[in-house]
Chains A and B, each alone.
Chain A
Amino acid sequence: AQSVAQPEDQVNVAEGNPLTVKCTYSVSGNPYLFWYVQYPNRGLQFLLKYITGDNLVKGSYGFEAEFNKSQTSFHLKKPSALVSDSALYFCASGVTGFQKLVFGTGTRLLVSP
């Protein structure tokens, strides 16, 4: 069975500092991995995905994520946080041949000015 873990309920970072939001996954076979962001009262917005290839994936709004197979991790990173990055971030996994995504519980990112 698939599962995704986001160990931190909230991450606090000062504007301009680098940020990391952690995600680990458990998938049989090769995973499809995604990050989505949710702003208040909005739907989820796609940030980036890993399917195959380069372990470092670049996405929207300056975000990137690193796939680490040995640690089964897919942490989201950004070199310099903005106050406007404050939102709820979800990691998700999928497997080939199936459409469903399994989401983590979400991590609230709070960037202070």
Chain B
Amino acid sequence: EPEVTQTPSHQVTQMGQEVILRCVPISNHLYFYWYRQILGQKVEFLVSFYNNEISEKSEIFDDQFSVERPDGSNFTLKIRSTKLEDSAMYFCASSPTSSGPGELFFGEGSRLTVL
């Protein structure tokens, strides 16, 4: 069964460093997402991406965050200058639907620890 894969599974970084989290969505899916889950808290939407551009973003997704799909298969989340509060599990997801919220297929997550 096709699945969403994410790398790395765990990354430890120093505050102020840049981090890139990588995802390979399911190949025939159209929408791609990043969500995050701070330990013990709810899952929060960061951004959705369709047709090579951001379709929606939350207030969390400020100028320190960026996403791109550099080669037609990978989907990356870059955090330019990490802060302590960026420590969380970051989930990539993809969806086959082209309109409205649909079933999301999540990866296993990348745990980011900012020291």
Given contacts A42-B108, A106-B42, contact A101 B91 (CB under 8 A): no
Q: A34-B103, A97-B99, A105-B41 are in contact. List 9 more A-B contacts (CB 8 A).
A: A36-B106, A41-B108, A95-B100, A95-B101, A97-B100, A99-B33, A100-B45, A104-B42, A105-B42
A94 to B95, CA, bound (A): 14
29 residue pairs A–B, Cβ–Cβ below 8 Å: A32-B100, A34-B101, A43-B4, A43-B106, A43-B108, A44-B43, A44-B104, A44-B106, A45-B106, A46-B103, A49-B102, A49-B103, A51-B100, A90-B42, A94-B100, A96-B99, A96-B101, A97-B100, A98-B56, A98-B101, A99-B55, A99-B56, A99-B95, A99-B100, A99-B101, A100-B101, A102-B45, A103-B43, A105-B41
Residue of A nearest to B6 (CB): A43
| Chain B residues with a Cβ closer than 8 Å to the other chain, count | 28
For chain A, give the interface size range.
20 to 34
Q: Which residues of A contact B91 (CB under 8 A)?
A: 43-44
A92 partner residues in chain B, CB cutoff 8 A? 43
**Which chain B positions have C-beta within 8 A of A51?**
100
Known: A99-B33, A100-B56, A100-B58. A46 touches B104 (CB 8 A): yes
